[in-house]
Amino acid sequence: MSVKVIKVGEDILSANEDKAGANKARLDKGAVFTVNIMASPGAGKTSLIMNTINNLKDKMRIGVIEGDVASSVDADKINALGIPVIQINTAGGCHLDANMVEYALNGLPLDAIDLLFIENVGNLICPNAFVLGEDRRVMIASTPEGDDKPLKYPAMFADSDVVVLNKTDLTPHLDFDDAAFRQTVTGLNPDVVIFPVSCKTGAGLDDWYAWLTAAVRGKKGG
């Protein structure tokens, strides 16, 4: 039998991208400003989300999708704050994908949410390769991780709209070079917005809240 070559030239991730587009359309319809939070394990994803809830919950309606390999530890914390939350357990999966987020959206009251956080799985390698339907990608880096992380995981930093640098209260005890960190991050990503914060002391968080508030208002149409 003769062999025939069939040209295809189609993106493999297009199934995820199509699904992410559908998620985005749904979130746009409800004017839900959606943030994909990415970081290594322990950088402060849940802490930033909880601080933000405590500060902004009287000004806007917040919802959360929690992605973890296992457990509902984070979702339980958010739930205790009276915020609608859906836990996704990836059962070993290293990133969230648009399909998992669609499933989570089905369980959230989207018409009663202004700001949706999607907390991705703690991982600096691949979550950036999978769009979910978000408006903005926010990466959290923390000072104990070292100022060289953008050099080691450049694609994650290049693909983020905002970098929150957490645990600045620990800087006096560390050899973290803030100027070097900023230079690398802005080099990889000239349009990035950087917020140095401490979720422990609250330092710098007001700028982050102001940015989020403006973005939520912007999506609502002023």
Partner 1 sequence: MHEYSVTESLLALALEKAGEANAARITRVNLVLGEISGIVGECVRLYFDLLSRDTIASGAELAYETIPTQLRCNKCDKVYTPQDGSWACPDCSEIGLEIVAGRECYLESIEVE
- Binding partner 1 (rule: CB under 8 A), the pick from 82, 172, 190, 221 is 190
Residue 70 is a binding residue for partner 1 (CB under 8 A):
no
Residues in contact with partner 1, shown as a per-residue x/- string from 100 to 139 under the rule CB under 8 A: -------------------------xx-xxx---------
Q: Which of 1, 82, 175, 179 binds partner 1 (CB under 8 A)?
A: 1
Q: How far is the CB of 141 from partner 1 (least distance, A)?
A: 16
- Which window, 23-31, 88-96, 198-206, 211-219, contacts partner 1 (CB under 8 A)? 88-96
DSSP H or E segment with residue 136:
strand 136-142
Gap between the Cα atoms of 129 and 14, Å rounded: 11
CA distance 136 to 154: 18
Give the C-alpha separation, 140 to 47, whole Å: 11
148 binds partner 1 (CB under 8 A): no
Does residue 60 touch partner 1 according to CB under 8 A? no
- Rg of the chain taking only CA atoms, in angstroms: 18
Regarding 3 and contact with partner 1 (CB under 8 A), the answer is: yes
Of 145, 95, 156, the C-alpha closest to 121 is 95
Question: Helices 45-56 & 205-220, crossing angle to 10 degrees?
Answer: 70
d(CA 143, CA 202) in angstroms, rounded, equals 15
List of residues contacting partner 1 (CB under 8 A): 1-16, 92-95, 97, 125-126, 128-130, 151-152, 154-155, 158, 183-184, 186-188, 190
